[in-house]
């Protein structure tokens, strides 16, 4: 056998293809229906003017021999690494050096690729429900055993629901890799300072490595929720942090991200910073120069103000969705520090049953929670990534439908 047999062990990625197929079928049967989509995790507002201006300047530089840029440094240009160190970390009182930051082309790729630093026998824990990439990338590497139709036999699931306040318990059995995400996708919940202190303490005691996803950190409001795991003393010895410009500044199409791999993070006498640099130098030629210049512009005074206006826009949509659910008697989480709102399906319906009811009776599309893991069964996610007008219309439709279902 010469192919990777583990690819064949992964269940088909049916969630979003099934969503699309059901919407197509409904639209074909109801050509006049106005279907509103609150399921997608993609941004809908255009790039900030400061970002567009930076793109134009960078493109013009590429037309002049003296400023033309070819292959760039695999870890990222110094101007962006330094901007991230200052804008994302020094700004919140956290000391992260520029050479601990690696610029990538998306946190999806980074979160999928980082597992390559670890042995194929490393034991993995994930919160449940979970961003599917964490699971599938480790399944491709052969770490998770077999899939029994609902869960992987060698994966430690850390259930998060309304019964435990969406706070995962520490693993009951030893693990080496722990995936955490705050604000969380899909639930929209956040980890408190005391939560993170517990996880950092656990990792320091056991030698586990935390892979901490902060793709939605820009949505955090107020000062009581940590924006980085490195706000916790000692976290630089146990954690890799993964950030993104996709949801912060609408770069889902441009593709730009960063990973922080501290020099203090070492295992088996080896620097993970050096390992990641070696991995990136071998498999990655760097994020395009013009994209990195665009990302740098996010940290300009104009860029910050413009990006924050977009974040506030989506947060207003999220608050409206959550308030509509709660007024109808449906308890929900998220929507405060996140563009996602998560809730149990009303009337005891399962995820797909509620999806069909929502589509057929209100012409609304969301995301069935079961697609995010076993604990997601019977739950649902709605996204704030739409226009304010569409979100208001969706809220009115929800308000009419939900009382009949609760």
Residue range 134-192, pLDDT digits in tens: 999 999 999 999 999 899 999 999 999 999 999 999 999 999 999 999 999 999 999 99
Structural domains of the chain in order of their starting residue, each with its CATH number: 5-46+305-405 (3.90.1150.10), 50-301 (3.40.640.10)
Pick from 350, 402, 404, 405: nearest CA to 380: 350
Question: Range with the lowest mean pLDDT among 3-12, 308-317, 329-338?
Answer: 3-12
Handedness of CA 335, 112, 42, 381 (dihedral sign): negative
Helix pair angle (49-61, 301-327), 10° resolution? 140
**Contact residues for 142 (Cβ-Cβ < 8 A; gap 6+):** 6, 120
Asked whether the predicted pLDDT for residue 13 surpasses 80, the reply is: no
3-state helix/strand/coil string of 6-63: HHHHCCCCCHHHHHHHHHHHHHHHCCCCCCEECCCCCCCCCCCHHHHHHHHHHHHHCC
CA distances from 400 to 140, 163, 172, 368 (A): 44, 28, 44, 21
Strand partners for 365: 37
The pLDDT of 296-305, averaged and rounded, is 98
Residue range 104-132, pLDDT digits in tens: 999 999 999 999 999 999 999 999 999 99
The pLDDT of 299-317, averaged and rounded, is 98
Specify whether the CB–CB gap between 323 and 343 falls below 8 A: no
* pTM metric for this prediction: 0.95
307: left (phi over 0), alpha (psi -120 to 50) or beta: alpha
The pLDDT of 266-287, averaged and rounded, is 97
- pLDDT score for 285: 94
Asked whether the predicted pLDDT for residue 10 surpasses 80, the reply is: yes
Residue range 48-105, pLDDT digits in tens: 999 999 999 999 999 999 999 999 999 999 999 999 999 999 999 999 999 999 999 9
Report residue 333: phi and psi, to 5°. Answer: -125, 170
The pLDDT of 293-312, averaged and rounded, is 98
């Amino acid at each position: 056998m010469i192919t990777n047999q583990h690819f064949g062990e992964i269940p088909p990625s049916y969630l979003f293809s099934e969503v699309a197929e059901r919407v197509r079928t409904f639209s074909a049967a109801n050509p006049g229906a106005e279907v509103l989509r609150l399921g997608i995790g993609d941004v809908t507002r255009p790039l900030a003017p400061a970002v567009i201006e930076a793109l134009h300047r960078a493109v013009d530089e590429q037309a002049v021999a003296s400023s033309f840029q070819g292959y760039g440094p695999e870890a990222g240009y110094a101007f962006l690494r330094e901007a991230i160190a200052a804008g994302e970390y020094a700004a919140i009182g956290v000391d992260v050096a520029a050479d601990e930051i690696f610029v990538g082309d998306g946190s999806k790729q980074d979160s999928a690729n980082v597992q390559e630093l670890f042995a194929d026998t490393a034991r993995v824990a994930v919160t449940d429900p979970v961003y599917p990439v964490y699971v599938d990338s480790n399944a491709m590497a052969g770490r998770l055993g077999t899939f029994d139709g609902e869960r992987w036999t060698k994966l430690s699931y850390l259930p998060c629901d309304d019964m435990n306040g969406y706070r995962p318990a520490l693993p009951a059995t030893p693990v080496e890799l722990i995936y955490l995400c705050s604000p969380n996708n899909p639930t929209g919940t956040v980890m408190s300072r005391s939560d993170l202190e517990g996880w950092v303490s656990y990792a320091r005691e056991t030698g586990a490595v935390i892979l901490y996803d902060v793709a939605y950190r820009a949505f955090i409001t107020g000062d009581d929720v940590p924006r980085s795991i490195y706000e916790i003393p000692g976290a630089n010895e146990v954690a890799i942090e993964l950030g993104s410009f996709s949801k912060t500044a609408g770069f889902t199409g441009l593709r730009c991200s960063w990973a922080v791999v501290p020099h203090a993070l070492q295992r088996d006498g080896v620097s993970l910073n050096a390992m990641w640099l070696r991995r990136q130098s071998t498999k990655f030629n760097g994020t395009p120069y013009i994209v990195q210049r665009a990302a740098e512009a996010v940290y300009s005074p104009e860029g910050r103000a413009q990006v924050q206006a977009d974040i506030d826009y989506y947060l207003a949509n999220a608050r409206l969705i959550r308030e509509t659910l709660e007024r109808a008697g449906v308890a929900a989480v998220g929507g405060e520090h996140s563009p996602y709102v998560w809730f149990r399906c009303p009337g005891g319906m399962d995820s797909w049953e509620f999806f069909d009811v929502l589509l057929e009776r209100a012409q609304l599309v969301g995301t069935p929670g079961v697609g995010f893991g076993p604990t997601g069964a019977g739950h649902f996610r709605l996204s704030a990534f739409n226009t304010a007008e569409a979100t208001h219309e969706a809220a009115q439709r929800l308000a009419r439908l939900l009382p009949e279902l609760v």
